[in-house]
A and B are shown apart, each in its own frame.
Chain A
Amino acid sequence: MSHHLVAAEHLRYRYPDGTLALDDVSFTIRHGEAVGIIGENGAGKSTLINHLNGYFLPETGRILIGHQAVDKRSRPEIRRRVGVVFQNPDDQIFLSKVYDDVAFGPRNLGLAEDKVAALVQSALELLSAWELRDRPSHNLSDGQKRAVAIAGVLAMEPDVLVMDEPTSNLDPRNRRYLIGFLNGFLHSKIIVSHDLDFIWETCARTLVLREGKLVADGRTKEILVEKALLESCGLELPLRLQGGT
């Protein structure tokens, strides 16, 4: 496995309505890194996520997962290797029973049912959600839904875990639990969030996007203290650094 696991090279993407969402974005994420992506609404974060598993293909430039460029042909393989947990778990959970929903991905990989069962169990156990396996998926709390959505992605054994706004709708206890889980997850992680305290606790490195451009890339604890940079990107210092305000 390459240590250059995720790379964007001069990535550029324009929506059909003419909006330039990503403009010459380049970065390299090595195996095992935890990277936060921050930026105000409309900065291009979600567009970038949609490129990482080939839902969008770049207008120019390219995305590499390992040494493999993301294109139409490589998409099925890329989607196995890059697991994306979307913002709203309700959009991600679509089968009526938790077990079947988590098994959806492994079954799509064509695995035998005993292997599927083992993957589902280990993914749900990793999130302390195995007891939910027979529950109807629409009758879960937001925290449980988030756990099931993550388990559904982990069951595919991805090399890279990508999460879009993972703390939205989470109460403090579940948020704390998610931080603990992510810090124990040793594969590469890419986390998009407006919750800068969450990024502070889970990501060693942070990328900052502004109007589709990558304006900063460095250690989280150096970037998130730069008040001027954050404010120029429509963000604020993390609460922990706001000194009791």
Chain B
Amino acid sequence: MSGSNRIFLFLAPALLVIGAFFVYPILLSVQMSFTDFTGVGTADYVGFANYDRFLTRSKYLDSVGVTVRFTLMVVVLQTLAGLFFAAMLHRMPAIRNFCRAVLFTPAMMSFVIVGYVWQFIYAPYTGGLNALLSAIGLEGLARGWLGDPSTALVAIAVTHVWMFVGYTTAIFLVGFANIPTEIEEAGRLDGAKSWQRFRYLELPLLAPSFTVNIILSTVGTLKTFELPFIMTRGGPDRATNTLSLEIVNNLFGSYKFGFASALSIVMLLLVVTVAIVQNLYLKRREDNQ
């Protein structure tokens, strides 16, 4: 058997699985996006009507905007928080493992539990956050965190970051571990302070960790559904209505499978575009370090 045939033979099972469980469903979704399918019965072809509705009704474009804003907030906050914790723990080996486990614990909890717990923390009348603010003399800052469109998305983003900062920290800690100790020692011998070692030695060498963290958190957050669904159902007044929520509402609330498929294709294009652009930029940055 020739070399190329052998390669194809070994690749075939994986290609089959990818084709059956990834490519085929996408092609089906594309096909369904041109119909008025309600989930049962027959699907009638409606041309580009679903895409036309997406482009001409501002509420759907607003959902894309909400999704992008939410993703930006989560990625920036989570990356910075993860980097901060990893930098601290890198310098505190005695408590590193314990703290890493503590930081990782929220990620092991169910979205439903996290959503409901934080919903009560943010509750305006009986919530823990407002009670804490009142206790420390900051009752002026107390508000309906999830009921105010200007704070609802940020509140959910904070919950999301709280849940997944452990992942980001763990990836950065691996990055720190991969930095040769000789470089750290050379920096110390040259009289560099802790901040200087971090800024000029460690940060550039953490480029691969940045790439992994940013791409993973971006792709994951663009598709986010659970926390907005549980905490606000997309409210108040669509302030937290992400594209995923819009898809689910059209699928199971309005039985508009055809239109929901069109929204899914839009989301797929968004995620793929962002992932490609990010990957190109971050890889180039890595190579330049």
Do A and B bind? no
Interface set of B (CB-CB < 8 Å, partner A): none
Interface set of A (CB-CB < 8 Å, partner B): none
